[in-house]
Amino acid sequence: MAKVAFQGERGAFSEDAVITFFGDTELFPSKYIAHVFKAVLGNNVDFGVVPVENSQAGSINDTYDLLLSFPLNIFGEINLRISHCLMALPGETLEGIKVIYSHPQALAQCEEFLRKLKAEIVSTYDTAGSAKKIKEAGLKGTAAVASKRAAQIYGLEILAEGIETNPNNYTRFFVISKEKAEPSPKSKTSLVFGTKNLPGALYACLGAFATRNINLTKLESRPSRDKPWEYIFYVDFEGHIDDPVCQEALMELKQNTNFIKMLGSYRRAGN
């Protein structure tokens, strides 16, 4: 049975992602995303599962920075439907809630609903961790935004269900490992690169894919940690890095970049 670390307490959406990908497995909750990366690198677990982006709130910047700095591979991906619930101690009412705890991403995804409650909003490190805190501390007049399973695990009462602003609310997770995934006929590849400081450099980089009809599914810039006001680019594209056409694109890409890091080739989610 594989050992898998994830960010959050039991009942976190990351745990749902682990179960979706692996089924029955040995779970290792971790307080921070960085702890998941360290657990995989240190051989404490076989795999880690980390959130990378939400369809409403956008990218998880910590994950992207850690993918760049850790010598690990993206082994797979999961697209998970996220449905949030507002929960509190048994006997509490919606009208009596004065404080609401949750992770900033979850709060952002439920902003429209929460704005109507006129309660104090407090950011915490985890959705399920907020539910656990309310249960363990017996916090009255306090609610958490978390999953339905978190309410079941911590014995809380659901006051409102499906409170996310956008019903098409999905979070994409990466499975990370020291291992590389086996080639798949429906693969996706992720990499990060920095362009040379020349006119048209990014245009030339993207042309390496466009001229070969390689479909880019994501392109995102992030500030460089090394030089202020310079940027690096994260790219996802359809295909496996060992495919001949992808190898050709990579060779051309190298001519127009000052660095490239392969993050992984893995089976696309939902196929």
Catalytic site residues?
Answer: 171, 173
CA distance to 16, 79, 173, 205, 267, per residue, from 262 (Å): 27, 21, 18, 15, 15
Return the axis-axis angle of helices 201-210 and 244-254, rounded to nearest 10°.
170
Q: Rounded to whole angstroms, how far apart are CA atoms 96 and 152?
A: 21
Q: How many residues does the chain have?
A: 271
Q: Rounded to whole angstroms, how far apart are CA atoms 52 and 175?
A: 10
Q: What is the DSSP letter of 95?
A: G
Can you tell me whether residue 185 is helix, strand or coil?
coil
Q: Rounded to whole angstroms, how far apart are CA atoms 35 and 193?
A: 25
